[in-house]
Structure 1
Amino acid sequence: MKKILLAFAALFLMVQASQAQLLPSFKLGVKGALNFSSLKSEGKWLNSDTKTGYQLGVWGRIGAAGFHVQPELYYSQKKAGFEPTEDNESGEATIKSMDLPILLGTKIGLGPIGFRIQAGPVFSFAQDGKVTVKSATDFENYKKSSTGIIGGIGADIRNITIDLRYEHGLNNISNNSNQNQKISMWSIGVGYAIL
């Protein structure tokens, strides 16, 4: 009789654990990050240096059964140094934008510690459609929005989140079709889950 009761107790606990994983979870938090960006160009008309910028914003995460969706919204300042190969003039571009990544991911771990893998699209909307350029050349002719793909790894330690990501631009951010430019960026961020 003891074995039967223990078997039923074990079965009950397994069912409860599996149902707990299927229930949706929700988190909301704030984040900040340092980014290291450059401009990539097709052809050899532009050499770009990596410059440091930052991100500040909020994130949410809803998930069930080991998978989650994590939309974020943050203000981003991306910088890139450049040196056109056609002449000796160099400069620095600063792109201030509101970025909206929508990440799909999975979390591996137990209790308060877990590791994440995430990827998805990111949509950037330049503030006032302006790009500040420290150069006399015509590099300020940029589009007001762009799309990219972002992916990375992360860790959750209780309410603290840490992320390492790579973002690659999918479309030309310059209105000049002869000067195809795409953002390439690494970022490392720290966040805090409020809920």
Structure 2
Amino acid sequence: MKKSLLTLICLVFVVSMTQAQLLPTFKLGVKGALGFSSLSSEGRFFNSDTRTGFQLGAWGRVGIAGFHVQPEAYYASKKVGAETDVAGESGEATFRSFDVPVLLGTKIGLGPIGFRIQAGPVFSFAQDGKVNFTTDWDRYKRTSTGIIGGIGADISKFTVDLRYEHGLTDLNESPDYNQKIRMWTIGVGFAFL
């Protein structure tokens, strides 16, 4: 009798988990993050120091069968410190952009607690920026692309993410420089749906 009852309980659990994985899920929320960015440069011109910026925006997640798509939209302020090879000049640059990542991922966990792995492209649209250098900085592009990946955790309606973003687009229009943003972010979010 005990074996039959235990078998029935396991069967009900497996069936309910299978049905839960096949039903589509939807979440919508807000997020904020701190970003630690640097501007890589191949060849000459400058060395970049990591500086702290921020991200504020919204995210959504649609999932089925254990996989999900998570588009996001947020305002980002990416700061870098740099020292040029022109008379040892140093300063700080701030890149402000509207960023749209589209992440693909999977979630592992039960109930309100789960861990995620995500990756995908990110598209950046420059809003404005401030660069404290005497060098010609008007040659920066207005749009760029990159790849982003990371891990995260969901605890009920709260989310925590650790991500790395690597720029694919050379930000400077000059053929002499190959400058790309690299950034680590730690973010928190809240799902209201």
TM range (shorter): over 0.9
Structure 1: which 5+ residue stretches go unaligned?
Answer: none
AA partner of residue 150 (structure 1): I
Deviation by residue 1:135-154 (Cα, 9 ceiling, x = unmatched): 11112321000000000110
Moved beyond 6 Å, runs of 4+: 1-6
- Equivalent residues, number: 193
AA partner of residue 101 (structure 1): P
In the alignment, the residues of structure 1 paired with residue 162 and residue 27 of structure 2 have an alpha-carbon distance, to the nearest angstrom, of 19
The match for 1:38 is: 38
User: Matched residue of 2:44: which SS?
Assistant: coil
TM-score by length of 2: 0.93
Taking only aligned residues, the RMSD between alpha carbons, in angstroms, comes to 1.9
The match for 1:58 is: 58
AA partner of residue 161 (structure 2): D
Instruction: Tell me, yes or no, if structure 1 residue 126 matches structure 2 residue 126.
Output: yes
In the alignment, the residues of structure 1 paired with residue 189 and residue 37 of structure 2 have an alpha-carbon distance, to the nearest angstrom, of 20
In the alignment, the residues of structure 2 paired with residue 171 and residue 2 of structure 1 have an alpha-carbon distance, to the nearest angstrom, of 63
Structure 2: which 5+ residue stretches go unaligned?
Answer: none
In the alignment, the residues of structure 1 paired with residue 58 and residue 147 of structure 2 have an alpha-carbon distance, to the nearest angstrom, of 19
The match for 2:79 is: 79
Give runs of aligned pairs for residues 173-192 of structure 1, distance below 5 A: 173-192=171-190
Q: Measured at CA, do residues 133 and 64 of structure 1 come closer, stay the same or move farther in structure 2, by a change above 3 Å?
A: same
Quote the sequence identity (%). Answer: 66
Task: Work out which of the residue numbers 161, 165, 189 in structure 1 matches 2:159.
Answer: 161
AA partner of residue 175 (structure 1): E
TM-score by length of 1: 0.92
Q: Measured at CA, do residues 16 and 184 of structure 1 come closer, stay the same or move farther in structure 2, by a change above 3 Å?
A: same
